[in-house]
Amino acid sequence: MEQLNTILSSAKKVFITSHLKPDTDAVSCLLAMHYYVSQVYPNVQAAAYLSGEMTDSLNELYGFSQIKWVADISGYVNEYDTLIFVDASQLHRFTINPDKIDLTKFKSICFDHHNNEPSKFTYIVNEFNEPSCSQVLYKHLFKERSDLLNPAIGEVLLTGIMGDTGSLRYIGSKTSNTLLLVKELLDATGLQIKTIQEKYFGYPVSDWEIITALITNTRLVSDYQHPFLYSYLPLEFLDKYSTNTIKQAKNKFLFLVSGTIKGYKWGFVATPDTLKNVNLSFRSGPDSVNVRLLAEQYFNGGGHDQTSGGEVVLSDNQTVEDLVYKMESQIKSLSDLPLIVKTP
């Protein structure tokens, strides 16, 4: 905290951002970080930026309207003297043009919870045993500052934690401390989990239409030493829904099916981002496939051992259905036992 204070006390203009294709935790900790800097360092000019299309499902979160959504952050950082990155620790996760951001020209701060080799930031907190970056921020910035906690910012932090833990569904013995921190936040703010669940994790009609298609396209692969399931959306869905709508519905589908079909402890979902690019979301249960390693080694991605992502570019005339069938064959050809997550 002394290092953090040294950097921010001398800052004049602070740029705050989170990773590409931001999820609930990314948006939440971006807002929490912006709030913290604005409150603790009122003389600092702080701005929150995100690359890409706006994720409007979170527009009721406190401070959401202050986010500047831009094509790519690389064109804006040079207006600032200090950069803050949250919910990722590798520069290429934040921008499509990492070569255009020279970290040596800035004071830079990073808060993360992913087990990756970080870029060379000035100051970094990377607690990869924590299930969400919002929890990391709460521990370091808000836990001992009751003057900063109120229902609005408590809702931001709790929404981020719930987003990355499946509404606390993925909490286990190694991450049970999260439940104590959630209790602290609930006690401090008077909020209820049910209220947050309804506001930010509900199901509009568009979600149900997409989820219905994903259920219809679900395949169960039992003829493999580690049985898995997967689903996909065809390219035609891009004609009817935005990529953000598809992403939000996909995440809710994953929440519904992860660990609910007996005998199938892991799997993935493939959804189109563009007519050529397909997003992959992997989920795994305890004592099953390490999807972080799988995504890193074979599918241009990464993340956590049990929650990870990747992407694949479609070849000419290839459909998403063709792609997932090819992925099934590729995965079934693997027998690398280190990909298994072992629990005590």
Q: What is the 3-state secondary structure (H, E, C) of 44-95?
A: CEEEEEEECCCCHHHCCCCCHHHEEEECCHHHCHHHCCEEEEECCCCHHHCC
Distance (Å, whole) CA 328 – CA 234: 16
Distance (Å, whole) CA 257 – CA 283: 10
Identity of the amino acid at 238: L
Rounded (10°) angle between helices 151-164 and 177-189: 160
Question: What is the model's pTM?
Answer: 0.74
CATH of 206-339, one of 3.10.580.10, 3.40.50.720, 3.40.50.300, 3.10.310.30: 3.10.310.30
User: How far does Cα 54 stand from its chain's mean position?
Assistant: 15
In the structure encoding, which two tokens stand for residue 127, read together?
């607690």
Q: Which of 108, 107, 90 is nearest to 98 (CA)?
A: 90
Distance (Å, whole) CA 265 – CA 285: 5
pLDDT in tens for each of the 344 residues of the chain? 888 999 999 999 999 999 998 999 999 999 999 999 999 999 999 999 999 888 878 999 999 999 999 999 999 999 999 999 999 999 999 999 999 999 999 999 999 999 889 999 999 999 988 999 999 999 999 999 999 999 999 999 999 999 999 889 888 888 999 999 999 999 999 999 999 988 988 788 889 999 999 999 999 999 998 899 999 999 999 999 998 889 889 988 998 888 788 999 999 999 999 999 999 999 998 788 889 989 998 999 988 888 899 999 999 999 999 999 999 999 998 876 445 555 54
DSSP 141: I
**Could you give the residue ranges of the DSSP H alpha helices within 149-242?**
151-164, 177-189, 193-200, 205-216
Q: Is 2-200's fold the same as 206-339's?
A: no
Question: Which residue ranges make up each domain of the chain?
Answer: 2-200, 206-339
How far apart, in Å, are the Cα atoms of 325 and each of 218, 245, 286, 302, 321? Answer: 12, 25, 25, 21, 6
In the structure encoding, which two tokens stand for residue 202, read together?
């509900």
The CATH class that applies to domain 2-200 reads: alpha beta
